[in-house]
Structure 1
Amino acid sequence: MYKNFFDQASVLIFDLDGTLYEGTEHFNLHVDNLKSKLNNDQKEEFKAIYDQILSGEHPVQIGKIYDGKRDIVWTWDPFTEELTEARNWDDEIVEVTDAPNKIAAHEFDFKNWVPIGDGWWPPYAIARHFGIQIDTIQASYNRTKEQMAELDGYLQQTSGLKEYLKELKKDKHLVVCTNSDELDAKRLLKFLEIDEHFDELIPSAMKPVHTKKHFDYVINKYNVKPEQVVSVGDNFMNEIAPALQLGMKAVWLTDAKEKPVENDHYVLTDTLAQ
């Protein structure tokens, strides 16, 4: 069904990390880098929690909000922006009287309010839970991105993607909108041999805080209606929910089996490979 979206679209906006290349091993690499900051007992506990998250047996999950101030996890509705339930790390519901009822995407500060939108963020939340400082977590993330380019097996080209993008570009505008900085994004796109297929790169996008601003910019620049634009990404909060709110269409690259919210403007798929 996502190919029907593509056929009908005039503009396609792609995320980069987790979208335009294959594999999830880099998340494990990030976990190992963070674990190196802990003692042996904490390393084992970190890994145990991470395994629980991957198996869906922990409150930290994609689509949740990590409350760094209180070290708890919130259920958040991306359309009403309501915080509906808080749970601690033992998966117990907790009563919170001093938190807002709603939080908008532009209020995410990635310190006190952290959207868990893709696989990079559960390790972040666990690290915060163990008291690792934000600057140290960021340094680990940066090191992981460097290692992905240096080591074998961490950046895998999606089979058929280069050819598919080349075909799409014949009658559509293709844009990359990524939270990676410009240097990193250009390096990755060149390494993946797909840099020449995009009309535009929007780096350091600060998604989801500024996602709608970037999407509005694309809609206006290319003079199209929202329903003629498709957002493609692996992060529901960063790329999917904002697109739906603007009336765009979206393709969510995920191994999730069910939609967080029902809407006929988006589909689930786990690959763009042909």
Structure 2
Amino acid sequence: MDWLHEIEVVLFDLDGTLYQDGTFYKRYLELLFKEGSYAASLGEILEEMELVLEGRHTSSIGDWYYPSTDTWSRGEEVKVEPNQSAETPAIYAGDAWSLVSIFTVKHGIGEVKRQESFQQVRKEMLQGSSSFERHAGLYEAIRQLSGVRLKLLLTNSPENTGREFIAALGASELFTDIVYGAGKPVGMEHFMSELMKREGLRPEQILSIGDHAWNDLYPVRKLGGHTAWISAYPSSDTSPWDVRLTTLDELASFLVDIQQSKHKHI
């Protein structure tokens, strides 16, 4: 990768990028579907979720779900369905969080219930009630990444929950700035455009790292930036990301590579 020394700005995602947790979705779905008529479907939903994440389902990470027709499709461009409206937009299955969102929409669970369950899952993760773990090696690699001009964290999480979560990770001081409620993917494109104007940057000097391709990577690639996709799950998305990572160990090593490349070109 002969472009690493060019990187001046690294954009980080939060969920699935600064930490990985392969079990949180089980508790999330339990909170969403444990009551009323939904309870009978919980076992089937959990099983279907696991099949999708493992790549053993007809649908997978990287697909699009259309609520208006209860159908899935593959491909980078969103298809316009006959009954699709602003109230029922297509959902990109970018990660486990978005798969949970798909199941809530599919089964008619409202936004209030989803937000309540989300807040509870976040709280339990911080209390150690899941496989959620802080990755000291990754955070040290971010800290040591001094060769770039800016290290920025952009998350769609609202500030009231995101700030507490990032503080619990011990990651608050690792970044030049943290943007909450980033509104990705549209917000990512706007942010990068403004960043280039403000800092006098070329697109190829910016690298975005994230696990949700549609939110974190597509907008950056569209503008000519570099992309690194990190995910433990198989995907139907065949986009040519610059870097493909699976674990946080790999991400930490990649950041070390960037620092070493920058150092060599001083």
- The bucket for the TM-score relative to the shorter chain is 0.7 to 0.9
Question: Given residue 35 of structure 1, which amino acid in structure 2 is its aligned partner?
Answer: F
Q: 1 CA distance for matches of 2:60 and 2:235?
A: 14
Deviations 1:37-84 (A, max 9, x none): 34443122222222221232334422222212222223231xxx2529
* Distance 1:255-1:187 versus aligned 2 partners, 3 A rule: same
Structure 1: runs of 5+ lacking an equivalent: 85-95, 101-106
* Distance 1:130-1:141 versus aligned 2 partners, 3 A rule: same
Q: 2 CA distance for matches of 1:257 and 1:115?
A: 15
Alignment match, 1:30? 28
**Equivalent residue for 1:220, pick from 187, 197, 200:** 197
Does the CA-based 8 Å contact 1:6-1:12 persist in structure 2?
no
Please state if 1:83 is matched with 2:82.
no
SS in 2 for 1:76: coil
Please state if 1:21 is matched with 2:19.
yes
Alignment match, 1:244? 221
Please state if 1:140 is matched with 2:123.
no
Does the CA-based 8 Å contact 1:60-1:122 persist in structure 2?
no
Structure number with the higher helix fraction is: 2
Please state if 1:64 is matched with 2:43.
no
SS in 2 for 1:196: helix
Deviations 1:81-106 (A, max 9, x none): 2529xxxxxxxxxxx6x268xxxxxx
Identity %: 23
Shift of 1:130: 2.4
Q: 1 CA distance for matches of 2:182 and 2:25?
A: 21
Shift of 1:198: 0.8
SS in 1 for 2:105: helix
Equivalenced residue count is 249
**Equivalent residue for 2:104, pick from 116, 127, 130:** 127
Shift of 1:24: 2.1
TM-score (norm 2): 0.82
Please state if 1:201 is matched with 2:178.
yes
Alignment match, 2:94? 117
TM-score (norm 1): 0.80
Q: 1 CA distance for matches of 2:88 and 2:120?
A: 20
Does the CA-based 8 Å contact 1:5-1:249 persist in structure 2?
no
Structure 2: runs of 5+ lacking an equivalent: 254-266
Q: 2 CA distance for matches of 1:40 and 1:259?
A: 31
Alignment match, 1:42? 41
Shift of 1:124: 1.9
